[in-house]
Amino acid sequence: MPSPSWQARSRAAARSDAGSEQEPDAEHRQAWDLVHCAQRGDTSAFGKLYGRYVDVVYRYVLIRVGDRELAEDVTSETFLRALRRITSVTYQGRDVGAWLVTIARNLVLDHVKSSRFRLEVTRAEVDDDRTVQAGPEQQVLSKITNTELLKCIQQLGDDQRECIALRFLQGLSVAETAKLMSRNEGAIKALQHRAVRRLAQLLPTGLR
């Protein structure tokens, strides 16, 4: 499975904090154009959506379940469900990726309920070969190497861990994260702030 740069996702998150009711940007419009083509029976359009978002979904699931094979299974099931539901999905101020992550999140929750599987942060590699030039939260995260990042995130509470995964690894906006976590935007901002502050405390002394 491909492994996108999580710093690139964090830059996207920093850029996308405007409310979800805004008109979609060019990239989002292009994604929704593919959805509309798929709704009209264009099978290649759904294949393009898969190619565009499979790494986003896989990375999110892998962070949540910590097992590569299970993450691949859940990712596949996510796109199967999306294909079955493609005719009914409508634009509601969110990115197509947020819709797919919502499906994946529900599948993960179903798995947790059925197997009592303890959610753990994966030890998979995170591509961090680029430096984030953004706000203080992105600067804190950009200091953390692959192994250090995952060790630090593993010590966060479940809500903080999911918030960090959605905001900085997946690049979702505050509004999109709030919808996925069933919280208001103010609560997500506070949760994010506490999570990043905690990560900063967990950093090795030399990286603070």
CATH classification for the domain delimited by 6-207, as one of 1.10.3720.10, 3.40.50.150, 3.40.50.1370, 1.10.1740.10: 1.10.1740.10
DSSP letter string, 123-138 = ----B--S---SSHHH
Whether 74 contacts 104, CB under 8 Å? yes
DSSP 205: G
Whether 75 contacts 54, CB under 8 Å? yes
Q: Cα dihedral angle (141, 196, 60, 184), rounded to 10 degrees?
A: -140
Delimit the domains of the chain by residue range. 6-207
Residue-level pLDDT, tens digit, the chain, 208 residues: 554 444 445 445 444 444 444 455 787 788 888 899 888 888 788 888 888 898 889 888 887 877 788 888 888 888 988 888 888 888 776 788 888 988 998 898 887 665 543 333 333 333 433 333 455 555 555 554 455 666 777 788 888 888 888 877 777 788 888 988 989 999 998 898 888 878 777 766 554 5
Tell me the pTM.
0.53
Q: What is the CA radius of gyration of the chain?
A: 17
In three-state secondary structure terms, 12 is: helix
In three-state secondary structure terms, 5 is: strand
Determine the Cα–Cα distance for residues 118 and 97; give it in Å rounded to an integer: 25
